[in-house]
Amino acid sequence: MQEANRPGPEEMRRNPERAFLQHMAFGGNPVDLILNLAQARANQGEQSSSGTTTGGSTSGNSGQSNTGSSNNRTAARSRQNSPAVQRRTRRRSRHEPDPSSETNEDVQDIRDVAYHFVRRLTRFVRLGGIGQYVTDQTGIQRANVFYEGCSEHQDRRCSVPGHHAAHVVRVRINGDVEIEFPEIFEPLRTFVGHTHFVPQYANVWRGLGGEIDRIQERFLQEISTVDFRGGMTSRVEDILRRLKQAFLDALGSAVRSGRYNAQQVRDLNEVIEAIREITIRELFEKGRDGLNYILLNM
């Protein structure tokens, strides 16, 4: 049994200096104590390096954790820089617009085909009312307010690939209006230069877009004879009905032509249904709206 107050092996391990003093106080052999003290210090060094004590274990685990994290980051960077991952990343981001690009804003302005072609009909009728107002204010003969031909004004360009800035009405403005009545010319230029961003196939001259342009040219003189301040006579009704049917015929021919893919055909069928639902009375009212367009936009 250990002698009372004489330091034991555990005390020698925990606090060698204090154990030395206790050992000497009880007449212990200094040589034995020195040997025991050296052994205790050696044991402490081994425990610290191996991390077997509580403090050492925490330090050892932390070192292993740091090393593991470093290895994980290195592996992650290696995977991220691999050609396969870079190819997948490029594919995912290929269609994401640059926030600083005009294309980003243009994408938000893209109109569906039904919206575009319906307004190619209704705004053309409104043009008839606008022309009537211009004649009333300027004395320019109504047949000479607008001319057939390529539009000379365009409000914007489209930067979205595969899309065009398509005019809604395709006419030229009499130059005398610009010279003598600039306050009227400005809203006229805005109206005539108005465009929609649409898929390219809807604005090709040798396709449906060009066919609608030619319909507007054919009906320009007739729509310029309609009195939108008066009532809807049988003659006016006939003009508007034939105009509407010309649009439907052009769209139907496009659907049957075989030149358009399945999605485009579905889009064009939606246009046909939308135009069919427009009544002749509604078209006439669009012309009436044109009588006030200049006043509201001067």
Tokens, residue 244? 């509407």
Its sign, for the CA torsion 221, 223, 226, 227, is negative
At 175 the pLDDT is: 94
At 37 the pLDDT is: 61
> What confidence tens digit (pLDDT) does each residue in 178-190 have?
999 999 999 999 9
> What confidence tens digit (pLDDT) does each residue in 198-210 have?
999 999 888 999 9
**pTM for the structure as a whole:** 0.65
- How many Å apart are CA 200 and CA 260, to the nearest integer? 12
- How many Å apart are CA 37 and CA 13, to the nearest integer? 8
At 254 the pLDDT is: 96
Of residues 177 and 96, the one with the higher pLDDT is 177
Contact 275, 165 (CB under 8 A): no
CA distances from 63 to 36, 50, 59, 74, 178 (A): 32, 12, 6, 17, 82
Q: Average pLDDT for residues 28-50, to the nearest whole number?
A: 58
The DSSP output letter for 98 is: P
At 290 the pLDDT is: 97
CA distances from 71 to 50, 57, 60, 64 (A): 22, 21, 17, 10
Q: Average pLDDT for residues 279-285, to the nearest whole number?
A: 98
Q: Grade residue 101 by pLDDT with cuts at 50, 70 and 90.
A: very low
Q: Which of 252, 289, 254 is nearest to 272 (CA)?
A: 252
CA distances from 98 to 101, 124, 162 (A): 5, 36, 17
Whether residue 15 has pLDDT greater than 70: no
Q: Average pLDDT for residues 21-25, to the nearest whole number?
A: 56
At 41 the pLDDT is: 62
> What confidence tens digit (pLDDT) does each residue in 237-276 have?
999 999 999 999 999 999 999 999 999 999 999 999 999 9
Whether residue 75 has pLDDT greater than 90: no
